[in-house]
């Protein structure tokens, strides 16, 4: 079918790349926020929470992707 292993792997990899890009973006956003004391602690905490969620999702996808 159209969803052969290769296609599936590619979509997983591009999804993973997108998540990792967002994770990196959040990381620099957090660094920026920490560098500016005017930024609300709650906002920083929210960013960190989202970063952790992404990290979990990345780990989950990686474990699925490596199972053959």
Q: What is the pLDDT of residues 12-51, one digit of tens each?
A: 889 999 999 999 999 999 999 999 888 889 999 999 999 9
More confident site: 63 or 65:
63
Tell me the HSE value of 42 on the side-chain side, using a 13 A CA sphere.
Answer: 0
pTM, entire model: 0.77
Residue partners of 20: CB distance under 8 A and separation at least 6: 58
Confidence of residue 68 (pLDDT cuts 50, 70, 90): low
């Amino acid at each position: 079918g159209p969803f052969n292993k290769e296609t599936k792997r590619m979509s997983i990899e591009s999804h993973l790349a997108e998540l990792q890009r967002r994770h990196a973006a959040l990381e620099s956003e957090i660094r920026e926020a920490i560098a500016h004391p005017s930024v609300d602690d709650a906002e920083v905490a929210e960013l960190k929470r989202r970063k952790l969620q992404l990290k979990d999702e990345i780990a989950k996808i990686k474990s699925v992707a490596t199972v053959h």
